[in-house]
Amino acid sequence: MALEDIVILNEKETRAGFGEGIYELAKTNENVVVLTADLAGSFKLGPFIKEFNNRFVQCGIQEANMIGMAAGLTIGGKIPYTTTFANFSTGRVYDQIRQSVAYSDKNVKICASHAGLTLGEDGATHQILEDIGLMKMLPGMTVINPCDFNQTKAATKAIADIHGPVYLRFGRPKWPNFTKEDGSDFVIGKAQVLAEGTDVTLIACGHMVWKSVEAAKELAKEGISAEVINMHTIKPLDTEAVIKSLTKTGAVVTAEEHNIIGGLGDAIAQVAARNIPVPQEYIGTNDTFGESGKPEQLLKKYGLDTPNIVAAAKKAISRKK
């Protein structure tokens, strides 16, 4: 695939991809049950609730109890999907997930919207930037941060087919939607190489994938060939794809809507350090909380925009020996 082949189909919220995905999944998988902690609207659950009301559990604002109930539902063979904002899906209920879900190997799908800075005006109380780290540290947890609407929809359906706990992270704002409509380009645990390149590798997850595509297009104008990898699955990480790309390009930029401590960048650095040490630059928040603002304003202020990725790529390239 080449950069020029990547085109925006439309702009949609990734969370709406969840809403559509769960509705379609429920039609074919009768074990799917959806729980929410008073956020059905935010997850676009209207169609699901209308048609599958008997498989919808309104928990009220009880995130801890919701996680526990989800663990219990798996014992009867159900596949529970829990829905609340990323902050309340992880930090608020870390111990419940740790003991009742992860340590207990329960087939719970923890689905988290409004992740990262781009939830915007609600500010730092709701903008969790530590959730990928929290979840990826749990043994047995699969962590997925799809890049757009189509991919969130595909991931929502795909996670029903793997046994074990999953953390599925997505966001609030409308965002460029560019992956395949049928989701056939999404495979859990398999890195998606969006564009091949030779000078630097851009590895991103979630909303930052599109920013990386934009950055690669900018770099191309300057004659710099960037490989763009959508690392939607942060755990288990596709280490083979990372090693292959870094061996080719010799430099990497990681981009995530997350603290650079404990996120995707750290995961890539670990692979690099063990296998193919190369210069790495990090795009992400740096040991800070967020604040209120428009999504694009926040991404710019915290250095998570296209110009910063371009600059980081040049810096990484300049550090090659």
Residues designated as active site: 63
Total H helices, total E strands in the chain: 12, 14
Contact set for another protein, span 220-259 (CB under 8 A) = none
Q: Which stretch binds another protein (CB under 8 A): 90-98, 118-126, 180-188, 267-275?
A: 90-98
- Binding test (CB under 8 A) with another protein, winner from 22, 25, 59, 158: 59
141 touching another protein, by CB under 8 A: no
Structure tokens at 307: 């110009």
Residue 122, CB-side half-sphere exposure with 13 Å CA sphere: 14
Q: Which stretch binds another protein (CB under 8 A): 59-67, 167-175, 242-250, 301-309?
A: 59-67
- Binding test (CB under 8 A) with another protein, winner from 49, 56, 62, 292: 62
Place of tokens 């915007």: 120
Q: Which stretch binds another protein (CB under 8 A): 42-50, 71-79, 207-215, 229-237?
A: 71-79
The DSSP 8-state label assigned to residue 320 in this structure reads: -
- Binding test (CB under 8 A) with another protein, winner from 15, 55, 126, 172: 55
Query: At 275, which helix (H) or strand (E)?
Result: helix 264-275
Rounded distance between C-alpha atoms, residue 93 and residue 88, angstroms: 7
- Binding test (CB under 8 A) with another protein, winner from 4, 7, 28, 76: 76
Residue 178, CB-side half-sphere exposure with 13 Å CA sphere: 20
- Binding test (CB under 8 A) with another protein, winner from 24, 38, 105, 185: 105
CB-CB contact of 49 with 19 (8 Å)? no
Q: Which stretch binds another protein (CB under 8 A): 18-26, 98-106, 117-125, 151-159?
A: 98-106
74 touching another protein, by CB under 8 A: yes
Helix axis angle for 208-221 and 306-318, nearest 10°, is 60
Q: How far is the CB of 164 from another protein (least distance, A)?
A: 12
Rounded distance between C-alpha atoms, residue 152 and residue 117, angstroms: 18
73 touching another protein, by CB under 8 A: yes
- Binding test (CB under 8 A) with another protein, winner from 15, 44, 78, 114: 78
Q: Which is nearer to another protein, 60 or 307 (CB)?
A: 60
- Binding test (CB under 8 A) with another protein, winner from 57, 124, 220, 311: 57
80 touching another protein, by CB under 8 A: yes
In b/e form, how buried is each residue of 253-290, taking b as 16+ CB within 10 angstroms?
bbbbbbbbebbbbbbbbebbeeebebbbbbbbbeeeeb
Query: At 312, which helix (H) or strand (E)?
Result: helix 306-318
Q: Which is nearer to another protein, 75 or 273 (CB)?
A: 75
Supply φ then ψ for residue 79, to 5 degrees.
Answer: -115, 90
33 touching another protein, by CB under 8 A: yes
Q: Which residues bind another protein (CB under 8 A)?
A: 33, 55, 57, 59-60, 62, 64-78, 80, 95-96, 98-100, 103-106
